[in-house]
Structure 1
């Protein structure tokens, strides 16, 4: 009895005898004795060459077979991008691979993942199909990135999107904000030279200009905060309360100057600084309010006396002018008469005498009638 085996045009056969590979079989019809110890494994040439439970090396001694195979030997430190007829088919990790080249052309792009950055040779449209083998890192438009391989600084990254292979080299990117930043110090208790404890609210603006120096400082913001705190204590501790209140506009310039003395060390530029509030203890505030009220009352009394003096001086000058000028005296009489007439309904004049005498007699009569 014979067994009939048909191998199609898009197939190849692998002949085994007693479990050992013998040769490749081309398309055709083959007959074997049914009780023979020979067997045939059919391979589809559109698929990858693979024999279950057999190592690929067992077949590579057959030159006729290998002439129809494309071999890809991928090292432990490599990824290989596999293309069939120019179209991406998949990514190969470490191992030995064989592909039938009878119907399709197989090409490869090898990448050394010991250098993690994905080169421009790799079409960016393929990256979506490689998500399990790569990582994406983005640096925003207002940031800078510091690239580390195995914790060793490599370079500074400008804003953009970067792609790295996952592999034996660990990749980290630390980003720093390059925008203008603000540091607020609120309720900072400081003692003046005359032992008055007060609280300050202070603010300063800065921006990172040297990311490499800034990243080397552990707890960067905390250390800048402490620097600002020490400078404020240095300034306030040398002034008495009255001097501080009088010179509070100068504190910002002093602090900004002292901060910029340290800008090279911290890798930043301090742009501006300002004192927002000085908060006094309750008892000191009451004393200052009392002093202020007394000062304002004294100023008000001074102004009042000054106005009274000016008014008296004006009357004296007017009297001198009327004494020297009869016409002016007469005009003043008429002015006063006009003011009196505004308050009196009827005036009757009889007899001689001047106007002032008549007015005097009228007023005297009016008072008697009352």
Structure 2
């Protein structure tokens, strides 16, 4: 059997299942009938020949002169550099890489320390599988509680962190410290005067003790919702409907103060609690609209009567002045006559000459 080996290749010669030697560029004849088998491989990257154990190949000086043996210690990762560029991650305890046409070098990263060394280049992370490390991102306004093997070891501020997962479990509980809004909607309340109403409320709060919250409370938002709901039912039910409508702001202030007295057990800081909407039954709403219309009509009647009294008083004062001053009385007559004349085209006066003469005198002709 004729074997051709190219310049960048090598051949592993096997006879009857046993390794004999390596061959390089050239032409060879190995009869298959005599038990020969030649496996050709490119001398780049990792050695792929698997017919015999690596221990056997290490006894061949020709093989050892052309490869770099890699042994990765326990608790470390190997980064293989080919042509001075990071190429692959090596995790095998022992491996061989061709070092003929492309120079290769192995560098180690220690995973035994929990915190990833800052000297580890971030571009290497694209080569390292995520099963070996954990990336933690804390945004502004957040805080991270770091647990290693279920033990709290650190509190993390905003930033990006990397931790090795070698022989340990790493967990980060991220707590949002920003102000939050809690909606409490559709709370049905029976007032002191037996009127069923529905309230919509809103509460604002923020986490005050993240560590104790994570360790002692599960579902803080649901617990706050339930507690505010109970306080609203207990307190608002003491008031009559009119009092609730008139004292909405005062009631909101009391609810907020009441929750502040209990906020420590929930690890929060309550800022405000406010009543957004008071929803009345349809019948009550119609009655209140009727009352409102009646009140506005009564107010309008009072204003009308006040204007009528003022107008009458003005007329009385004018009459007194004209009674005391004849000239003013005469001017008022002329003013009235002028208004009449402006409204008609012709004026016909029937009577004696004396009446006509009087009319002419009044009109100034």
Answer whether TM exceeds 0.5 for this pair: yes
- Equivalent residues in 2 for 1:358-369 (5 A)? none
Q: Where does residue 354 of structure 2 map in the other structure?
A: 351
- SS at structure 2 position matched to 1:253: helix
Q: Where does residue 169 of structure 2 map in the other structure?
A: 170
Q: Where does residue 152 of structure 1 map in the other structure?
A: 151
Task: Please report how far the alpha carbon of residue 55 of structure 1 lies from its aligned counterpart in structure 2 after TM superposition.
Answer: 6.0
Cα distance between partner residues in 1 of 2:358 and 2:267: 93
Gaps of 5+ in 1: 1-9, 28-40, 360-370
- SS at structure 2 position matched to 1:298: helix
Cα distance between partner residues in 1 of 2:270 and 2:107: 50
- SS at structure 1 position matched to 2:127: helix
Structure 1 residues 351 and 136, CA, compared in 2 at 3 Å: closer, same or farther? farther
Question: What do residues 25-73 of structure 1 show as CA deviations (whole Å, max 9, x unaligned)?
Answer: 9x9xxxxxxxxxxxxx99999776898576667899999x999987655
Q: Where does residue 278 of structure 1 map in the other structure?
A: 278
- SS at structure 2 position matched to 1:342: helix
- Equivalent residues in 2 for 1:40-119 (5 A)? 52=50, 73-83=71-81, 86-93=84-91, 95-97=93-95, 108-119=106-117
Q: Where does residue 203 of structure 1 map in the other structure?
A: 202
Answering whether residue 308 of structure 2 is matched by residue 335 of structure 1, we say no
Q: Where does residue 119 of structure 2 map in the other structure?
A: 121
Cα distance between partner residues in 2 of 1:134 and 1:62: 35
Q: Where does residue 32 of structure 2 map in the other structure?
A: none
Cα distance between partner residues in 2 of 1:43 and 1:286: 93
Cα distance between partner residues in 1 of 2:292 and 2:42: 102
- Equivalent residues in 2 for 1:208-223 (5 A)? 208=207, 210-216=209-215, 217-223=217-223
Task: Please report how far the alpha carbon of residue 244 of structure 1 lies from its aligned counterpart in structure 2 after TM superposition.
Answer: 0.8
Q: Where does residue 5 of structure 2 map in the other structure?
A: none
Give TM-score scaled by structure 1 length: 0.69
Structure 1 residues 125 and 351, CA, compared in 2 at 3 Å: closer, same or farther? same
Structure 1 residues 347 and 255, CA, compared in 2 at 3 Å: closer, same or farther? farther
Cα distance between partner residues in 2 of 1:301 and 1:48: 102
Q: Would you say the 8 A contact 1:48–1:98 is kept in 2? A: yes
Structure 1 residues 346 and 100, CA, compared in 2 at 3 Å: closer, same or farther? closer
Task: Please report how far the alpha carbon of residue 199 of structure 1 lies from its aligned counterpart in structure 2 after TM superposition.
Answer: 0.5
Q: Would you say the 8 A contact 1:85–1:106 is kept in 2? A: yes
Q: Would you say the 8 A contact 1:76–1:93 is kept in 2? A: no
Q: Would you say the 8 A contact 2:143–2:176 is kept in 1? A: no
Cα distance between partner residues in 2 of 1:182 and 1:90: 49
Task: Please report how far the alpha carbon of residue 226 of structure 1 lies from its aligned counterpart in structure 2 after TM superposition.
Answer: 2.0
Structure 1 residues 149 and 351, CA, compared in 2 at 3 Å: closer, same or farther? same
Give TM-score scaled by structure 2 length: 0.70
Cα distance between partner residues in 2 of 1:255 and 1:355: 85
Structure 1 residues 293 and 85, CA, compared in 2 at 3 Å: closer, same or farther? closer
Structure 1 residues 173 and 291, CA, compared in 2 at 3 Å: closer, same or farther? same
Cα distance between partner residues in 2 of 1:319 and 1:251: 58
Cα distance between partner residues in 2 of 1:105 and 1:142: 45
CA RMSD in angstroms comes to: 5.0
Cα distance between partner residues in 2 of 1:268 and 1:149: 26
Q: Would you say the 8 A contact 1:213–1:266 is kept in 2? A: no
Q: Where does residue 30 of structure 1 map in the other structure?
A: none
- SS at structure 1 position matched to 2:306: helix
Q: Would you say the 8 A contact 1:192–1:238 is kept in 2? A: yes
Question: What do residues 313-338 of structure 1 show as CA deviations (whole Å, max 9, x unaligned)?
Answer: 22222222222222322222222222
Q: Would you say the 8 A contact 1:72–1:97 is kept in 2? A: yes
Cα distance between partner residues in 1 of 2:200 and 2:68: 74
- SS at structure 2 position matched to 1:130: coil
Cα distance between partner residues in 2 of 1:211 and 1:337: 91
Task: Please report how far the alpha carbon of residue 274 of structure 1 lies from its aligned counterpart in structure 2 after TM superposition.
Answer: 3.2
Structure 1 residues 45 and 141, CA, compared in 2 at 3 Å: closer, same or farther? same
Q: Where does residue 33 of structure 1 map in the other structure?
A: none
- SS at structure 2 position matched to 1:244: helix
Task: Please report how far the alpha carbon of residue 245 of structure 1 lies from its aligned counterpart in structure 2 after TM superposition.
Answer: 0.6
Q: Would you say the 8 A contact 2:76–2:108 is kept in 1? A: yes
Aligned residues: 353
Task: Please report how far the alpha carbon of residue 312 of structure 1 lies from its aligned counterpart in structure 2 after TM superposition.
Answer: 2.3
Task: Please report how far the alpha carbon of residue 285 of structure 1 lies from its aligned counterpart in structure 2 after TM superposition.
Answer: 1.8
